[in-house]
Amino acid sequence: GESVGLHLPTLSVQEGDNSIINCAYSNSASDYFIWYKQESGKGPQFIIDIRSNMDKRQGQRVTVLLNKTVKHLSLQIAATQPGDSAVYFCAESIGGATNKLIFGTGTLLAVQP
């Protein structure tokens, strides 16, 4: 069935280092991918998205890479800060009439000062 999963449940990094969070997806029909950040007790917050016709997209301090050949998605955070500590989810969608998101299980990013 459809699924989105993450390789690393917990990632611990030093402040100032770069972070890489990985995600695998299995639905080849998915054409839209999103990374969300969720802090404790809050709802998911949009970080960055990418469509299937792209393989890289950059935002402020974040980059998303998409490898459709191996169905892999990654989020890179440059110069990680303590405020980046949260759970990060990747999500996929096939868009169109059914706009539902399929979420992965999440990776906890812990930034050490």
Partner 1 sequence: NAGVMQNPRHLVRRRGQEARLRCSPMKGHSHVYWYRQLPEEGLKFMVYLQKENIIDESGMPKERFSAEFPKEGPSILRIQQVVRGDSAAYFCASSPPIRGAQGYNEQFFGPGTRLTVL
Interface residues with partner 1 (CB under 8 A)?
A: 4, 31-32, 34, 36, 41-46, 49, 51, 89, 91, 93, 95-106
The residue length of the chain stands at: 113
Say how many C-beta atoms besides its own lie within 10 A of residue 10's C-beta. Answer: 10
Q: Any residues with CB less than 8 A from the CB of 59 and at least 6 apart, and which?
A: 47, 48
Taking the complex as a whole, the smallest distance from the CB of residue 93 to partner 1 amounts, in Å, to 6
Alpha helix ranges (H) inside the chain: none
Nearest distance from residue 99's CB to partner 1, in Å? 6
**Smallest separation (angstroms) from partner 1 to the CB of 63:** 18
**Which CB atom, from 31 or from 65, has the smaller least distance to partner 1?**
31
